[in-house]
Amino acid sequence: MISANQVGKAIAVHEEGVSECAHCCSHEFTKYGTTVRGQQRYKCKTCSRTFNSLTCTPLSGMKKQDK
């Protein structure tokens, strides 16, 4: 099992490592304020969707394209 502390560290790493859109993998995005939790939020210039460093992780629970 992963402890809550380890998860927190993983998130912190992701926070600094955002390099592409979570939806279309475009590198054309700009900062778009922050979330209610203070996380950096981004808006993609290609697909016009917003995302943050957690959007593409299992924590988001947005994987519906499997099967």
Provide the binding-site residues for Zn ion, judged by CB under 5 A: 21, 23-24, 26, 44, 46-47
The Cα 47–Cα 59 span in angstroms is: 22
| The Cα angle at residue 33 between residues 27 and 36, in degrees rounded to 5 | 120
Residues 6+ apart with CB under 8 A from 60: 54
- For residue 11, the minimal CB distance to Zn ion (Å) is 21
Minimum distance, C-beta of residue 24 to Zn ion, in the bound complex (Å): 3
Q: How far is the CB of 43 from Zn ion (least distance, A)?
A: 9
Q: Return the number of the residue (11 or 47) whose C-beta is nearest Zn ion.
A: 47
